[in-house]
Structure 1
Amino acid sequence: SQPLSVSPSVELVGAAWTHKRPSRSVLSDAIGPLEATGKIRIVVGHGPVDAVLGSLNDEPSTIRLAEVEAAIAGGAIHYVALGDRHSTTRVGESGRVWYAGTPEPTRFDEVDPGNVLIVEVDGHGHCEVEKVRIAQWQFINHEATLTEADDVAALKHFFTQLEDKPRTGVRLVLSGTLTVRDHAALEDLLESERQSLAALEVMRDRSDLVVRPDDFDFESFGLGGFARSALLELQHL
């Protein structure tokens, strides 16, 4: 696209996708013909960059970082604002190519979402990027090893420290061995926290939490006769 003048000294260059799978790099097409004019040019584009994808960069729409940095070095463009990644990401070594990421987290596995970038650029080689967090939501992964009541209490303390629970999602990975009594306390805790958190999920496929009765649990069964003898025998296996 043709540069759009937004002031006597600043131009915007748009490189938007017009459909989901472009057959070539729209950004490369936009910056390829540009030459230095003395004006500050900000490029706004979308798509993956080969330097970020690594070996997964065979899509024709992939942005080639070398082309972008050559245009920067030649003074044709001065900053490239990219969309596609949800995590704030600096691309390359120039300090002038960035994904701002999403203003709010959208998944548990995002590295650094929830930011905006404040960028200062001039025509004399200066470019300063400041990351500012604005997210109101948070998604937290938490792992806990539980072997006694104190560990359940520690997990409760973790929940207590969370701020703004209605805008917080938590994903737990739990491991260890608990008695029946302590496991019941854990279940009560999780049920209580589900009422206040936006989301609470225990990752069953990654958790390894075993429930094993202790002497107190066995006594609470109130068994007698043959059943008690069988239980005692099983206890010592």
Structure 2
Amino acid sequence: MEDSITFLHSSDWQLGMMRRFLGPDGQARWGQGRLDAVARIGAVATESNAAFVVVTGDVFEHNQVERQTILRACEALKRIPVPVVLLPGNHDALEPGSLWTSSQWQAHAPAHVTVVTDTAPFEVVPGVEIVGAPWRSRRPLSDPAAPGYADLQPAPAGTTRILLVHGQLTSLSGGMSDVPTIDQTALEAAVTDGRVHYVGLGDRHSTTRVTDRIWFSGTQEVTTPEETDPGNVLKVTIGSGITVEPVRVGAWHMVDHKVELYDEESLTALEDWFAELPDKERTYVRLAGDGSLPLPLLSRLDALIDAQGEVFASVERWTKFWTVRPAPDAADLDALQLSGPARAAMEELRQALAGGDEAAGAALSLMHRLARDAG
């Protein structure tokens, strides 16, 4: 292993994924963004003189993705100029009806792309072996990584061996996984005794260092605001030692933002925060809010969120953390140009709000906004 080898490690592309919080336009741009990030991996491969690329599971969102998704994925893979090794994960497992055996994939997959279909080591480039543990169902009965390394002998002298696995580590799952987890101690032992020299993990969407030689690459493009470090590909160089460098390929942002809204100053601060965010067309914002606002300011808030939702990929109130209440001022309501049934409805809503009905407050806010706009 005197000579060094550089390769790229990615995972969890989940091509074909849908996000309910993005409208049709945002969803289309975000879906294309995931493919664009794959193409950028090809550019990183060229810039870093990488010998090959590995993708450790969940290349596709599921086995029934549309034909268009498969064909566009094949086009993106063609833009990676070195061998690519794909590991089936839980989303795209090697189960009956798998897309990996579909006519669309078989007919259009680029020749330099290899799908790992068993646990036999194979040479990806001279001096480098790949061994993987592909998922064969969405619900394995035991540690999904163990088949990849349990029966291995130490790698031959002069050979670098890379293990590709997919799943959650027992140490990181917090006991919340509903499928068997990966034994980190056993993985570390496989590295220590020379059976493998690097373990590429998939399933965790944030780039995560487990040890110097065991890493989750994370997804190539962000999927939820909870992810702490998505949007990277790992540049791995193995020689007498090892270096692992995350390289940014993602272009999207998903942001949680908490606000307290009680007056015009706090609302203006929110407007300024929106104005300062970059890449608005590639940013999803999830707002958590607390406080109370007079009806004119509440109407202004509604208009602000509606308008920003047209500028950003999406802006939405985080329902379970949104408790901004109306604080209707009697003078504001009395000033509305309402008469007849509309005035009677307003008075009924005022009484309901006084009785603690928060839905009545929302209705009053909407009434105020509509009457103001009509005026």
TM-score (norm 1): 0.84
Which structure 2 residues correspond to residues 104-119 of structure 1 after superposition, within 5 A? 104-119=221-236
The change in CA–CA distance for 1:195 and 1:54 in structure 2 (over 3 A counts) is closer
Partner Cα distance (1:180, 1:100) in 2: 48
What residue number does 1:120 align with? 237
Larger Rg, first or second structure (1 or 2): 1
SS in structure 2 opposite 1:184?
Answer: helix
Q: 1:53: Cα distance to partner?
A: 1.4
Partner Cα distance (1:57, 1:218) in 2: 52
Deviates more, 1:67-76 or 1:210-219: 210-219
The structure, 1 or 2, with the larger RCO (C-alpha pairs under 8 Å, 6+ apart) is 2
What residue number does 1:227 align with? none
Partner Cα distance (2:251, 2:160) in 1: 33
Identity of aligned residues (%): 36
Partner Cα distance (1:136, 1:166) in 2: 10
Q: Residue deviations 1:54-74, cap 9 Å, x none?
A: 3346844x2211111011111
- Cα RMSD after superposing both structures: 2.4
What residue number does 2:173 align with? 53
Q: Residue deviations 1:77-107, cap 9 Å, x none?
A: 111111111121222xx32111111111112
Partner Cα distance (2:284, 2:220) in 1: 16
Q: 1:217: Cα distance to partner?
A: 2.4
SS in structure 2 opposite 1:150?
Answer: helix
Give the number of the structure whose residues are more often helix, by fraction. 2
Equivalent residue for 1:211, pick from 309, 312, 326 = 326
Which structure 2 residues correspond to residues 132-147 of structure 1 after superposition, within 5 A? 132-147=247-262
Partner Cα distance (1:180, 1:204) in 2: 20
Equivalent residue for 1:24, pick from 142, 148, 153 = 142
Q: 1:33: Cα distance to partner?
A: 2.0
Q: 1:31: Cα distance to partner?
A: 0.9
CA contact (8 A) 2:140 2:179 kept: no
Q: Give, as a single letter, the amino acid of the residue that structure 2 aligns with 1:178.
A: L
Q: Give, as a single letter, the amino acid of the residue that structure 2 aligns with 1:118.
A: K
Give aligned pairs, total.
222
Q: 1:218: Cα distance to partner?
A: 5.7
CA contact (8 A) 2:161 2:198 kept: yes
Q: Structure 2 regions of 5+ residues with no counterpart?
A: 1-118, 339-349, 355-375
The change in CA–CA distance for 1:205 and 1:55 in structure 2 (over 3 A counts) is closer
SS in structure 1 opposite 2:268?
Answer: helix
What residue number does 1:155 align with? 270
What residue number does 1:71 align with? 190
Q: Structure 1 regions of 5+ residues with no counterpart?
A: 224-230
SS in structure 1 opposite 2:168?
Answer: coil
Q: 1:214: Cα distance to partner?
A: 4.0
The change in CA–CA distance for 1:204 and 1:8 in structure 2 (over 3 A counts) is closer
CA contact (8 A) 2:139 2:179 kept: no
Equivalent residue for 1:96, pick from 213, 225, 233 = 213
What residue number does 1:169 align with? 284
What residue number does 2:164 align with? 44
